[in-house]
Amino acid sequence: MPTVFRYKGVRFHFFSNEGNPREPVHIHASCANGEAKFWLDPNVHVASSAGFDRRTLSELLLVVEGRRDEIVRAWNEYFG
């Protein structure tokens, strides 16, 4: 599971088997308190979540939006 970055104890990562061309670019966020999946196209939005409260999920969404280019670059480098 390649880690792209960490933010306030939340790990943002991909699963190694997700490079399927049919699945759009996305990132997972996980920590002891919850997990979420964010789609990046056509705009950043929550695909699924469990355990994060609304405020935290909103904060994580802003983080993903702000680091979208970095995530896309890491996806393309990893999955080529």
Phi, psi of 22 (to 5 degrees): -75, -20
Question: What pLDDT, on a 0 to 100 scale, did the predictor assign at position 52?
Answer: 97
Name the residue ranges covered by the structural domains of the chain. 3-79
Phi/psi region, residue 8 (left: phi>0; alpha: psi -120 to 50; beta: rest), is left
Stretch (H or E) spanning 73: helix 68-79
55's CB contacts (< 8 A; 6+ apart) are: none
Query: What percentage of the chain carries pLDDT values higher than 70?
Result: 95
> pTM score > 0.75 for this model?
yes
Reported as a single tens digit per residue, the pLDDT across 34-56 is: 999 999 998 999 999 999 999 99
Low-confidence ranges of the chain (pLDDT < 50): none
Structure tokens at 59: 């904060």
Question: What pLDDT, on a 0 to 100 scale, did the predictor assign at position 77?
Answer: 92
